[in-house]
Amino acid sequence: MKQALVRLTSASVLAMWAVTGAASAQSMDQLIAAAKKEGQLSVIALPRDWCGYGAVIDSFKAKYGIQVNELNPDAGSGDELEAIKANKGNAGPQAPDVIDVGLSFGPSAKSQGLLQPYKVSTWNTIPDSAKDAEGYWYGDYYGVLAFEVNKDIVTNVPKDWSDLLKPEYKNTVALAGDPRASAQAIQGVYAAGLSAAQGDASKAAEAGLNFFSDLNKKGNFVPVIGKAASVAQGATPIVIRWDYNALSDRDTLKGNPAIEVVVPKTGVVAGVYVQGISAYAPHPNSAKLWMEHLYSDEGQIAWLKGYCHPIRFQDLANNKKIPADLLAKLPPAEAYDKAVFPTLSQQDAAKEVITKKWDSVVGAKVN
Domains 10-139+272-328 and 143-270+333-361 share a fold: yes
- Whether domain 143-270+333-361 has CATH 3.30.70.600: no
Domain boundaries along the sequence of the chain: 10-139+272-328, 143-270+333-361
| Rounded Cα distance, 7 and 306, in Å | 22
Give the pLDDT of residue 183.
79
Q: Which residues contact 140 (CB under 8 A, 6 or more apart)?
A: 100, 272, 273, 274, 275, 294, 295, 303, 310, 311
The CA-atom distances, in angstroms, between 337 and each of 19, 164, 266 are: 26, 22, 10
Give the pLDDT of residue 306.
85
- Whether domain 10-139+272-328 has CATH 3.90.470.20: no
Give the pLDDT of residue 41.
98
231-262 pLDDT, tens digit per residue, is 999 999 999 998 988 998 898 899 999 999 99
Helix (H) or strand (E) holding 194: helix 183-196
CA 216-221-225 angle, to 5 degrees, is 130
| Rounded Cα distance, 41 and 117, in Å | 17
User: Which residue ranges of the chain lie beneath pLDDT 70?
Assistant: 1-26
| Rounded Cα distance, 224 and 324, in Å | 37
pTM, 2 dp:
0.71
Give the pLDDT of residue 332.
81
Using DSSP, state whether 21 is helix, strand or coil: coil
- Print the SS3 string covering 261-324: EECCCCCCEEEEEEEEEECCCCCHHHHHHHHHHHHCHHHHHHHHHCCCEECCHHHHHHCCCCCH
DSSP letter string, 158-169: --SGGGGGSGGG
Count CA atoms within 13 Å of residue 303 on its CB side: 21
Give the pLDDT of residue 1.
23
| Rounded Cα distance, 360 and 356, in Å | 8
Give the pLDDT of residue 319.
93
